[in-house]
Structure 1
Amino acid sequence: MAIASNPYFATIGMFIVDEFSFADENGEPTAQVVPPQIGGGGTYAAIGARIWLPPDEIKMIIDKGHDFPADIESQLLQYGKDMWSFREQPGHGTTRALNSYKGELRNFEYLTPRIRITPNDLLRLKIKPKTLHFICSPTRAGEIVSEVQQVEGWTPTTIYEPIPDRCVPEELPALKRILPYISILSPNAEEALSLLGMKVPLTRENVEQAVDAFLSFGIGNANEGFIIVRSGALGAYVKSKSESGRWIDAYWGEDNRERVVDVTGAGNAFLGGLAAGLLRTGDQIFEAVLHASVSASFVIEQQGLPMMSVDTPTKKATWNGEDPEQRLINLRNRQTKLQSE
């Protein structure tokens, strides 16, 4: 089907139905029951962008298997039907994954075969988004970048999020090869240190050293790309060759740990919020990261996606009952105070 205009942001991350099982430290099942939930890195990235952008500025392809849950489809549509492109897959089951917990340890495994989404799938919808987000191994990222380069007149801002289980030193050569074509590289802190083989404690100092190492490889067009390392309660560290490094606070940090219920999807939502922030601020990276931190703050307050409500007269949206613009002001003021101390 033809799309009237190009959306600003698209993700080629996946949609997943998450299932859960819980056991104690000895492997004995517990009584905790969590129903299947909407999941997938692409889904959370799209929602992170949706906190700031209207649905027609966002696009995500969702593979709809023969068993796609009707209640989940209804929930997705509440965020705005224009942001989803459902791709019928009658010969496949909907992608599902099991999140199994043994005490505090979490294991993740797919229960059904995955269906990859590629840049060419977006082109079949006749769209060329201005910002493209993807989550995969460095080797797979090379294939994605190659597809984009083959399309005349399409030079999107690329936001690359390495997949956790391929953040290993063996993937570093592949990462170095694609970095010139990446606008923003954003692993989390553990992934960044693991890619570089840095067996050191997670501290701000060590994160800063990792970022300098990535910058030394060269990133982005004319070596002007950014590294953003998401570091949980420590905040996010942002730097490029021309911009000095800066830490941006997590909205819910160490002093507000009680607000953190489940961090699943927070990093993905951060990057969707980042993309939206770049549009809203005219590519002001540090302001965009403030948007990103606010997007992540709504995701971690509950299991699953945050709740969006729209006031009918004003058409203004709140998330989990709060205004993201007010959180943005709060975080900006906090950041300004920290920098002046």
Structure 2
Amino acid sequence: MRLSSEAFAGPTMERRSFVSLGGVWLDEIRRPNQQACKDVVGGSATYATLGARLFAADDPSRLTLVINGGYDFPSAVVESLEKWRVKIRLLINNGKCSTRGILEHNGSAGSKFTRLTPPLLTSPADIASVGALNSQIFHLFAAPELAQAQCLQLAELRRTACPDSAKAVVIWEPHPKSCTQPLLEEHLALLHDSAITVFSPNHHELHSFFDDSPCTTSFDRAVMEARARTFFDSSRHVHNPMRKTDGVQVIVIRAAEHGCLVLQQGREKATWLPAFFGPSEQDKIVDPTGAGNAFLGGLAQGWLETGDWRIAACYGMVAASVIAEHVGSPVHDGAGDMETWAGINVRKRLSSYRGRADVSTLLSEET
């Protein structure tokens, strides 16, 4: 493996804001009666980083995007990503193909994703090799076994490399295929005895933990909230002097057009934020691919700016809306206060969203 892209002499301990241990994919996107789009960059790490980047116009270089690419990773893709002005670290895996897939959109029949090559995973050792161990927030996209290994390795590496750093925030986005009834206990066990701060499945994934039948019934907030609170099960918080963590602190359920649910340890009342595009505005959604990942990147940046998870979720809502309006990543233009993404001033959109009566009322409630 060799390091390429931007010149890099070795690990440094400058304070970074955000890095994802998710993947970077090269997708071929197919739609009926349209020419296929090839080498569209995607993956959980790409979109999570972009979600944070949308709100980081003042200092984008504090974000790190680690790409595990194969010998065939296109230089044109790297050049397009460098326009975001985040720290791009491309790790070339010689003798291996880049992570590729085909995403087929079939209208009302839904979408189908086909993996073409084995994924090239980003490890905590990779994070260390590019000098990003001192990041304030880490994003994981993994099944429980991998997430546990990543948490342990990150903690060990950080104790050695940056022992004086403040405790990092870890956001865990569970892998959809691991969100099943048989694996519920593994998720619960990890959440209650690890350094994970935020756990965020979407509403379909939450349903799958408790019911193996398709989610076809009408959306029920009370059911969603009750199921989400399972991850805060107080019976698991039995005093244990050997226990090194306080367990997960925040549960965020991303529920597409139904908005999102925010639950916090120590706060009895749940917060339900409305979606930026509600049920009657779904015609504005062009491609939801990556919107959930982008939500979590926006959530991370919002937390860094405000220290309030409810307000941070507003950032997530806006980030998801920007991504969902486009195929692939939106085109970036301008800088600072004048920066736009596909013509959208994200800060103005955030201000507009927070100013909505249904949102401002929720945010004015006491914590």
Q: In the alignment, which residue of structure 2 is the partner of 1:11?
A: 20
Matched residue type, 2:220: T
Q: In the alignment, which residue of structure 1 is the partner of 2:75?
A: 70
Matched residue type, 1:197: D
Moved more, 283-292 or 166-175: 166-175
- Asked if the contact 1:139–1:175 (Cα under 8 Å) also holds between the matched residues in 2, the reply is no
Q: In the alignment, which residue of structure 1 is the partner of 2:147?
A: 141
What SS does structure 2 have at the residue aligned with 1:326?
helix
What SS does structure 1 have at the residue aligned with 2:230?
helix
Aligned-partner Cα distance in 2 for 1:69–1:127: 24
Q: Is 1:112 paired with 2:130?
A: no
Match of 2:84 among 79, 86, 98: 79
- Asked if the contact 1:145–1:178 (Cα under 8 Å) also holds between the matched residues in 2, the reply is no
What SS does structure 2 have at the residue aligned with 1:150?
helix
Q: Is 1:42 paired with 2:24?
A: no
Aligned-partner Cα distance in 1 for 2:36–2:223: 37
Matched residue type, 1:146: L
Q: In the alignment, which residue of structure 1 is the partner of 2:240?
A: none
RMSD across aligned C-alpha pairs, in angstroms?
2.3
Match of 1:270 among 292, 295, 298: 295
Matched residue type, 2:207: L
Match of 1:124 among 129, 134, 144: 129
1:76 CA drift (Å) = 0.8
Aligned-partner Cα distance in 2 for 1:31–1:336: 43
Matched residue type, 1:44: Y
1:89 CA drift (Å) = 2.1
- Asked if the contact 2:71–2:96 (Cα under 8 Å) also holds between the matched residues in 1, the reply is yes
Q: Is 1:216 paired with 2:230?
A: no
Q: In the alignment, which residue of structure 1 is the partner of 2:278?
A: 253
**Are the structure 2 counterparts of residues 173 and 338 from structure 1 closer, same or farther at C-alpha, using a change threshold of 3 Å?**
closer
Q: Deviations over 1:236-280 (max 9, x none)?
A: 000123122001121111232222111000000000000000111
Moved more, 111-120 or 220-229: 220-229
- Asked if the contact 2:232–2:248 (Cα under 8 Å) also holds between the matched residues in 1, the reply is no
Q: In the alignment, which residue of structure 2 is the partner of 1:25?
A: none
**Are the structure 2 counterparts of residues 3 and 197 from structure 1 closer, same or farther at C-alpha, using a change threshold of 3 Å?**
same
What SS does structure 1 have at the residue aligned with 2:233?
helix
- Asked if the contact 2:285–2:324 (Cα under 8 Å) also holds between the matched residues in 1, the reply is yes
Q: Deviations over 1:269-295 (max 9, x none)?
A: 0000000001111x2111111111111
Q: In the alignment, which residue of structure 1 is the partner of 2:345?
A: 323
- Asked if the contact 1:267–1:296 (Cα under 8 Å) also holds between the matched residues in 2, the reply is yes
1:224 CA drift (Å) = 5.9
Q: Is 1:58 paired with 2:58?
A: no
**Are the structure 2 counterparts of residues 224 and 42 from structure 1 closer, same or farther at C-alpha, using a change threshold of 3 Å?**
closer
Match of 1:31 among 9, 16, 33: 33
- Asked if the contact 2:16–2:63 (Cα under 8 Å) also holds between the matched residues in 1, the reply is yes
Aligned-partner Cα distance in 1 for 2:363–2:84: 36
Structure 2 residues not aligned, in runs of 5+: 1-9, 238-243
Moved more, 231-240 or 107-116: 107-116
Matched residue type, 2:16: P
- Asked if the contact 1:49–1:269 (Cα under 8 Å) also holds between the matched residues in 2, the reply is yes
Moved more, 260-269 or 84-93: 84-93
What SS does structure 2 have at the residue aligned with 1:17?
strand
- Asked if the contact 1:12–1:60 (Cα under 8 Å) also holds between the matched residues in 2, the reply is no
Aligned-partner Cα distance in 2 for 1:55–1:232: 27
**Are the structure 2 counterparts of residues 52 and 292 from structure 1 closer, same or farther at C-alpha, using a change threshold of 3 Å?**
same
1:173 CA drift (Å) = 2.0
**Are the structure 2 counterparts of residues 207 and 139 from structure 1 closer, same or farther at C-alpha, using a change threshold of 3 Å?**
same
- Asked if the contact 1:204–1:234 (Cα under 8 Å) also holds between the matched residues in 2, the reply is no
Match of 1:308 among 332, 352, 359: 332
| Equivalent residue pairs, number | 330
What SS does structure 1 have at the residue aligned with 2:117?
coil
After TM superposition, the score normalised by the length of structure 1 is: 0.90
Matched residue type, 2:200: S
Aligned-partner Cα distance in 2 for 1:33–1:336: 43
Matched residue type, 1:316: M
1:93 CA drift (Å) = 1.4
**Are the structure 2 counterparts of residues 339 and 183 from structure 1 closer, same or farther at C-alpha, using a change threshold of 3 Å?**
closer
1:179 CA drift (Å) = 0.3
Structure 1 residues not aligned, in runs of 5+: 23-29
Moved more, 262-271 or 178-187: 178-187
Matched residue type, 1:275: A
Aligned-partner Cα distance in 2 for 1:115–1:223: 30
Q: In the alignment, which residue of structure 1 is the partner of 2:203?
A: 189
Q: In the alignment, which residue of structure 2 is the partner of 1:26?
A: none
Aligned-partner Cα distance in 2 for 1:189–1:51: 24
